[in-house]
Amino acid sequence: MMDNHSSATEFHLLGFSGSQELHQILFAIFFFFYLVTLMGNTVIIVIVCVDKRLQSPMYFFLGHLSALEILITTIIVPMMLWGLLLPGMQTVSLSACIAQLFLYLAVGTTEFALLGVMAVDRYVAVCNPLRYNIIMNSSTCIWVVIVSWVFGFLSEIWPVYATFQFTFCKSNSLDHFYCDRGQLLKLSCDNTLFTEFILFLMAVFVLFGSLIPTIVSYTYIISTILKIPSASGRRKAFSTCASHFTCVVIGYGSCLFLYVKPKQTQGTEYNKIVSLLVSVLTPFLNPFIFTLWNDKVKEVLQDGAKRCCQLLKD
């Protein structure tokens, strides 16, 4: 516990409860997930950059989405693994806590903006294919990606600044595996209700600001696909959207439960589980989702595997 008139200059992360054996099992599982996440998303970035068959807006956006997945899991998982490996020894400075929270929220916001852009891209591809190359030209794609990144980072400056304007005098122990905003607000001796309400409104704006164009886009996409007379045509049209739609459901679903609630300080164990979905499971699943649902990505990966096998034989 801390003096009522002082504010924390460092925080102790409590991480996961349980025995040392459980921590070792969790470490092995999350370390495996982290390695697969890095390798899988890196492979997607590399093939998007080098293979001419993937030189289209959809895969350009996919490459950036994979980069964001690598970033979001790297911001959280190494610190979490360190806490599992050496429980009771995880102390984070105030500046490191600020940096982690800002990067986590900024990268997450950028990802939602990009998912919204990808939904519009799929709408143009399915509903207006003849004008697709004109509308989604290289200049447009570059600009919307730049705007997504800039918006993501600029929009989280005030929320993080406002969070760390409070005095953290109740304790310096955070019952989480990273610097979670809800847990930080729990430690404040100040009245945080108004700020929490503003943060709630901002979370609603960010999530629904990108979810609404996604819903509208998929309403038109599904309507157009159902009008296609042949089953093979419907399947082909659906396959171009299925991977993105799956990412949307997982990504938005978990974050709606985590951030869009007026009271930011509720449900510690609940927050930990949903945070694991956002920072561990979704980045891990991303390469598999886009590989399993996308025929062109599967084709490129199969050709690459054949070339590797041939080089090894030679």
pLDDT digits (tens, 9 = 90+) for 12-64: 888 887 788 888 899 999 999 999 999 999 999 998 888 888 888 888 998 99
CB 15 within 8 Å of CB 80: yes
What the chain holds in terms of domains, given with CATH numbers, is 10-293 (1.20.1070.10)
> Which pLDDT does position 265 carry in this prediction?
46
What tokens appear for 86 in the block?
């050496």
What tokens appear for 248 in the block?
């949307």
Pairwise pLDDT comparison (180 vs 310), residue with the higher score? 180
> Which pLDDT does position 255 carry in this prediction?
67
Judge whether residue 249 has pLDDT over 60: yes
CB 169 within 8 Å of CB 7: yes
> Which pLDDT does position 241 carry in this prediction?
74
Question: Exposed e or buried b for every residue in 90-114, given b needs 16+ CB within 10 A?
Answer: bebebeebbebbbbbbbbbbbbbbb
pTM of this structure: 0.87
Judge whether residue 92 has pLDDT over 90: no
> Which pLDDT does position 140 carry in this prediction?
92
Spatial distance between the Cα atoms of 2 and 8, rounded to a whole number of angstroms? 8
The string of DSSP letters for 175-193 reads SSSS--HHHHHHTBSS--H
97: nearest Cα among 159, 11, 187, 15: 11
CB 13 within 8 Å of CB 79: yes
Window from 29-33, 78-82, 177-181, 268-272 with minimum mean pLDDT? 268-272
CB 294 within 8 Å of CB 243: yes
3-state secondary structure 291-306: HHHCHHHHHHHHHHHH
Cα end-to-end distance, the chain, whole Å: 66
Spatial distance between the Cα atoms of 295 and 307, rounded to a whole number of angstroms? 18
> Which pLDDT does position 157 carry in this prediction?
93
The contacts of residue 99 (CB under 8 Å, 6+ apart) are none
283: nearest Cα among 44, 60, 107, 34: 34
Spatial distance between the Cα atoms of 201 and 205, rounded to a whole number of angstroms? 6
Quick: pLDDT tens for 98-149: 999 999 999 999 998 998 998 899 889 888 888 888 999 999 999 999 999 9
> Which pLDDT does position 187 carry in this prediction?
85
Spatial distance between the Cα atoms of 297 and 48, rounded to a whole number of angstroms? 9
